[in-house]
Amino acid sequence: MMMQHDAWTLFDMFFSSQKTQHFLSKQYEKLNMEDSNGKSFDNTYGFIYYIEHGKKYYKLADLAPMELKPVLLFYGMTQLMKACILCADPEYPDSSAVLAHGLSTRKRKKRSYEFLYDEVKVQKTGLFNHFCEKLFHMKHVEGEKFTMIHLLQTLPELSPLFKQMNGDVNLIKLRKENEETFFLPLKSNDRLHMSEERFLEYTNSLFSAKFSIDWKEDHSGFLLRSNEALKPFDCFPLSYHLFENTYYLPVDRDRLQSPELNEFMVHYVILYNLSMLSRYDTEWWSELFHTYTSEELPYIKQFLNITAHKMPYLFGEMLQLRN
């Protein structure tokens, strides 16, 4: 699975201290902060080093055995998150509380442990909530739980695998008509067990602030119109497919009605859990890769390949949009 271009070129402009200071100063001016110039000067090299450090983790993950990739990818992602946080919080890190991962998982795994049904809990403080709050003005509730299979089902690049493995269809591909309009095929409503009229009423009532869905003029399908240009890194409830450069709509009521989760959060939670398994449940983790008795390995391997390409691209896009 290869990208058409190198996502890391999106970060090249930041390897100039002069350009980075100007960029950060502009971020702080938007926040109406006093002495935006001084704060940007103080944070310039921290910002550059976070990106440089993150890039090294990702590049090393390219060369590492699959069993070690989760740890390298997780820490690569955390470095890019910290760089982005500096755009919105010039005092970061102002306490040790924001340095923790912000998540927790069951310490001792049961004998019948299944990764797909494992849960990760949100902690009161830490990088996860700090990133969500500063970059997306969202705060997740302490104790909120995420199940691995539900998170993996939100990733359109994994849709073919879910269909191959168990016949599941969780997402429907949208065909781009223009930057704000997408075509949705007939019978999409069937996946939600709704009539066409009920489907239109239901989706429009849920997401009227973001987009509208209506009949195409010739009734050959539906048209989804976004109220603003979609951003690949923040397009809930849609999901962006990196390799197809298009969006997918979830056809699951729980997903449509769930608390808003963008892809950064999804990848961070899954990578956190996989990295914990790699580090602390070495026997289970090693058997997964050498016995081939689990149906979970294909999901894990494909996810690791996807996140290695997709996260640098989405972080790069987010920073470019702020420029």
Residue 216 has pLDDT above 70, yes or no: yes
Interval 49-83: pLDDT, tens = 999 999 999 999 999 999 999 999 999 999 999 99
Compute the average pLDDT of residues 224-245: 90
Torsion, Cα of 292, 168, 238, 205 (10° steps): -150
Task: Identify the band that residue 169 occupies on the pLDDT scale cut at 50, 70 and 90.
Answer: confident
pLDDT of residue 1: 39
Task: Identify the band that residue 2 occupies on the pLDDT scale cut at 50, 70 and 90.
Answer: very low
For the record, the structure tokens of 196 come out as 């066409």
Residue 9 has pLDDT above 60, yes or no: yes
What is the average pLDDT score of the chain?
91
pLDDT of residue 136: 92
Interval 118-149: pLDDT, tens = 999 999 999 999 999 999 988 888 888 999 99
Task: Compute the C-alpha angle 320/255/216, nearest 5°.
Answer: 75
Report the alpha-carbon distance of residue 194 to residue 242 in Å, rounded: 29
Compute the average pLDDT of residues 178-190: 87
Q: How far is CA 78 from CA 143, 268, 292, 315, in A?
A: 21, 8, 30, 11
Query: For residues 292 and 212, which has the higher predicted lDDT (pLDDT)?
Result: 212
Report the alpha-carbon distance of residue 237 to residue 259 in Å, rounded: 10
* 8 A C-beta contact, residue 104 and residue 121: yes
Alpha helical stretches, state H, the chain: 17-30, 36-63, 69-88, 127-136, 148-152, 159-166, 196-207, 253-257, 263-280, 282-291, 297-322
Interval 151-160: pLDDT, tens = 999 999 999 9
pLDDT of residue 125: 92
Q: What is the pTM of this model?
A: 0.94
pLDDT of residue 108: 64
* 8 A C-beta contact, residue 169 and residue 191: yes
